[in-house]
Amino acid sequence: MRSFIEKMRKAGLVTDVKEAVSPDMEAPKMAAKTDKLLFFHNLGGHKAVMNLTANRASLALALGIDERAMVKTLADAQFNGKVVEDGTLTMPKPDLTKLPIMHHFPKDAGKYLTSAIVFSRWEGVENGSIHRMQVLDDHRVVARLVEGRHTHVMVKKAIAKGEKLPVAITIGTHPAVTFASCTRVPTGKELPYAAELMGGTLKVKKCSNGVLVPDAEIVLEGFITAELTDEGPFVDITGTYDPIRRQHIIEITGMHTKPDFIYHGILPGGDEHKMLMGAPYEPKIYKAVAGVTEVKDVLLTKGGCGYLHAVIQIRKSTQGDGKNAIMAAFAAHTSLKHVVVVDEDIDPANPHEVEYAIATRVSGDRDIMIIQGVRGSSLDPCQLEDGTNVKVGVDATMVLGREDEFRRATW
């Protein structure tokens, strides 16, 4: 992570905060006002960063990919990087009170780890994914484990055998590793994907419980247990409070920190959260749409929480391509709620141009698809009691054969 921060600094994308800042809502408020990387020199007595990859330029820099070609390049990923073991980590007794863990919003249940990657290992399979974790005391947290996702499945398998799931939690990891851990990849391929993104090879160290971890400022070793407790309320991607749920407790048995460590916090519902929620799905949507028409770009918009709204740019060859693209996108990312398909002359990243396409190229009775009773996002406040939602697709492309009537005048 430190090498990436220096790259950002050289690019003039870092704001240094020299004055003392409190982890109790003060730092989160500052992060909410900018998408620049904030480097806190004294956050509760420690160094810390927020907004590490809070915009597309910083994410592209982290991945070493041209921003304009990022989605297409990621869509071609092979998940075949080389993971090399490079020693073991010593784990002194844990004490979470020594970390500047933040309290983000007034009604949050307490302090939360938000950037932490949970690496787990079961039956020879490694997994890496981000889970929010509410701090219970100096050596226990409760993690939100989404039902059906890989970590949750592994926990259930371990509990069924009367065991705990071994995990290692990293904080302050290179953003390429974080991005890989946020991406739906083939089973056990998070670390190989991270290695691919970082040039082909990734060194990892083994914890005493057998879990492999990449370089990080802080590593917490422990086990996910069968014990449940209340987790939440907590602000999630929509900026609204997620409800209280019964979730699994993680017992922390060891804590390794670098000397003068740099803590990393992600603002819930903030720009970095949106980037890490949405950008990993863009290549998946790109590949799905490429199966039905010629796709040029995909963007999950900031206004759509980086997760619920997609704009897809295509080159039409038949009049039905726009609607086919909509259906492919919904199938690829089931949490999508609204999709707008545009032509090549419309910039998906420019909301004014997208609105222009809707204003001048959409006939409501012909170009709007409404799909009822389908699975949506559990984070959407509009979700119905049975877990279903309504999806809307908008074909904002020009009518084939009548392009001259729709094209904008140029000089």
Q: What is the pLDDT of residue 378?
A: 84
Instruction: Give the Cα separation of 158 and 102 in Å (integer).
Output: 31
Q: What is the pLDDT of residue 223?
A: 98
HEC string for 128-177: EEECCEEECCCCEEEECCCCCCHHHHHHHHHHHCCCCEEEEEEEEECHHH
Q: Which of 122, 98, 89 is nearest to 204 (CA)?
A: 89
Is 208 exposed, middle or buried, given 0-12, 13-18 or 19+ CB atoms closer than 10 A? middle
Q: What is the pLDDT of residue 380?
A: 87
Q: What is the pLDDT of residue 386?
A: 86
Q: Which helix (H) or strand (E) holds 117?
A: strand 117-122
The mean pLDDT of the chain is: 96
Q: What is the pLDDT of residue 171?
A: 98
What contacts 284, CB < 8 A, 6 or more positions away?
A: 75, 184, 332, 333
Half-sphere exposure of 75 (CA within 13 A, CB side): 19
Instruction: Give the Cα separation of 405 and 411 in Å (integer).
Output: 17
Q: Which helix (H) or strand (E) holds 178?
A: helix 175-181
DSSP state, 239?
S
At residue 210, what is the residue type? G
Q: What is the pLDDT of residue 190?
A: 96
Q: Which helix (H) or strand (E) holds 225?
A: strand 216-231
Given 236, 242, 343, 395, the catalytic residue: 236
279-304 residue pLDDT tens: 999 999 999 999 999 999 999 999 99
What one-character-per-residue DSSP string does 282-340 give?
Answer: HHHHHHHHHTTSEEEEEEE-TTTTTTTEEEEEEE-SSTTHHHHHHHHHHHH-TT--EEE
Q: What is the pLDDT of residue 144?
A: 97
Instruction: Give the Cα separation of 158 and 21 in Å (integer).
Output: 41
Q: Which of 235, 216, 222 is nearest to 103 (CA)?
A: 235
Which of the residues in the chain have pLDDT under 50?
A: none
137 is catalytic: no
